[in-house]
Amino acid sequence: MHLARIMLILMSLAVTACGGNAKLPVSAGTGPEPELPEPQKALIPLVNIARIERWEAGATPVAADGLVVNAFAKGLDHPRWLYVLPNGDVLVAETNAQEKKPKGITGRVEKMVMKRAGAGVASADRISLLRDTDGDGIAETRFVFLSDLTSPFGMTLIGSRLFVANTDGVVSFPYRDGETEITSAGMPLVSLPAGDNNRHWTKNLVASGDGKFLYASIGSNSDHAENGIEEETGRAAIWQIDAATGEHRVYASGLRNPVGMAFEPSTGMLWTSVNERDDLGGDLVPDYMTSVVDGGFYGWPYSYYGDHLDPRIKEQRPDLVATALKPDYALGPHTASLGLTFAEGQQLGPDWSDGAFIGQHGSWNRKPRSGYRVIFVPFENGKPAGAPVDVLTGFLDEDGNAQGRPVGVIFDKTGALLVADDAGNTIWRVTRAK
C-alpha cells in the first residue's frame, strides 16, 4: 500500500479513536482542585489538531470586554517568545525545532500532523528587534538582532550582557542600550540537554532579581519516559545556573515540560507553566501552573498531579512519589499552556491588576479542542484566587481552523500586553479600551 495512503488511514483511525474524547468540560480540569477521572487508553492515540488558516487581512483575535487588540507586528517567521529591553524595544525569537529525518511510519505521520498544524516549518534561528518609534502601538521598524542561533527561545538581560537559551545551551552577548544588531560571537555559558531526539526543544530563561542566577526550564525527551529514564538525565526540570560561572544544579524536577517562568510580584516566588502528559484520555492530565519550590519534585514520569500513579510506568519509584508536590492550579487538559507573565505595571485596568496571564497554544489530541486562547487567573496574596477569565479568544474560526496560536505573553514598557502568535506570524498588543 502506498505510504501516503497508510498515513491517511492511520490518521483517520486516530481521529476516531475514543481515548482522547473528553467527557468533562475544560472547566472540570481547571483550578486548585481539578477533577481527575480514571485514565483512558485508546488503541490508537487521537489526533485532532486544528488546521492552520491564517488571519485574513484586518482580522484580529477577540478581546475581552473593556480591552482592545491590534497587530503590533505582522509577517514574522514563527514568533514564539518575547522579551522587552529596558528602552522599550521588543525582542522576538523566531524559532522552531531543528529539522530531523522522521523515523518509520509513526515519525512520518507525526511530521505530517505537525505540518498540518503549522509547526513543521524550518526554524528561522534568529532573534528580531521590533521598535515602535512613534508610540502608536505598532512596530514601524524591524531589525535582525541576532542570527545563526540554534532554535533560540528564552532571553534575559543582566547588566550589559544578554543571555539567550538555544536548544542546546545558554550563550551570552554584549549589549548596549539602543543597538539594533549584535555581531559579536556568543560566549557559551552552559550546555543544555539536547541531542538527536530532543522532543521538547524549547529552553526558557529568566534571571533572579539580583542577577546572580539564571533559571532554565528544560522539558522531557518523551511523553512518559517510554524510551527509558536514562534518556531523561537533566530533563523535565528547572536548573539554577550561576550567571557568572555556568555552575548549575537541578532546582526542581518532575516537571514534564515547564515552559513559561515568571516571578510573582508580591512574594518574589518563581512560578512555571507546565505541559503535562498525553494518551490517558481527553480529560487527563491537566496542564498546570505552580510555584516552584527549591528541591521540589512534581511527579513526572511516575505520577501526575501529586501522587496519582501513571498506569503505564512499570518500574515505579514509591520513594519519589511519596514526595511529589501537588501543583497550585490546573489549567485544563491538553491546553498546551506555554506563556506565563504576571500583571505588574500593566495598564489594562483594575480587573486585571493582580494575577497571571497564560498563553494557551491549544490541544492536538483532544476532542473537543481545548486552549487556543489567552487567559487571566486572578491572584490574592500571591496565590490563585478564582476562575480563569478569557483575555483573547477567536483563534479558532467557525470551522474549527486555527487562525493563530498564542504562545509567549509579556507586558511592554507602556503596560500593554504583547502576545506572540506563532501560527499567525503576528505579535498582538492588548490595551485598555478608551
| Residue 362 C-beta-side C-alpha neighbours within 13 Å | 29
**Domain 3-54+88-342 listed as CATH 2.120.10:** yes
pTM of the model: 0.94
Distances, alpha carbon 177 to alpha carbons 59, 92, 161, 206, 227, in Å: 35, 17, 11, 19, 46
Domain spans of the chain, in order of start: 3-54+88-342
Q: Are the CB atoms for 87 and 130 separated by under 8 Å?
A: no
Q: Are the CB atoms for 329 and 288 separated by under 8 Å?
A: yes
User: Minimal CA–CA distance to 72: which of 176, 82, 17?
Assistant: 82
Q: Are the CB atoms for 44 and 7 separated by under 8 Å?
A: no
What's the rounded Cα separation, in Å, for the pair 411 and 83? Answer: 9
What sign results for the dihedral spanned by CA atoms 426, 255, 340, 210?
Answer: negative
What pLDDT score does 16 carry? 40
The amino acid that residue 233 corresponds to is: T
Order of strands across the sheet with 270-275?
Answer: 30-31, 329-333, 286-291, 270-275, 257-263
What grid cell was written down for 335? Answer: 491546553
Taking the CA atoms of residue 140, residue 143, residue 149 and residue 155 in that order, the dihedral angle to the nearest 10 degrees is -60
What pLDDT score does 10 carry? 47
What grid cell was written down for 203? Answer: 529552553
What pLDDT score does 415 carry? 97
| Orientation of helix 3-16 relative to helix 104-116, angle to 10° | 70
List the chain pLDDT tens, one digit each, 434 residues.
454 544 544 444 444 445 568 999 999 999 999 999 999 987 787 899 999 999 999 999 999 999 999 999 999 999 999 999 999 999 999 999 998 765 555 555 555 665 665 556 899 999 999 999 999 999 999 999 999 999 999 999 999 999 999 999 999 999 999 999 999 999 999 999 999 899 999 999 999 999 999 999 999 999 999 999 999 999 999 999 999 999 999 999 999 999 999 999 999 999 999 999 999 999 999 999 999 999 999 999 999 999 999 999 999 999 999 999 999 999 999 999 999 999 998 999 999 999 999 999 999 999 999 999 999 999 999 999 999 999 999 999 999 999 999 999 999 999 999 999 999 999 999 999 98
Start-to-end Cα distance in the chain: 61
User: Minimal CA–CA distance to 420: which of 31, 163, 155?
Assistant: 155
Cell numbers 498515513 label which residue?
Answer: 7
Q: Is the peptide bond before 419 cis (omega within 30 degrees of 0)?
A: no
Taking the CA atoms of residue 154, residue 157, residue 162 and residue 168 in that order, the dihedral angle to the nearest 10 degrees is -30
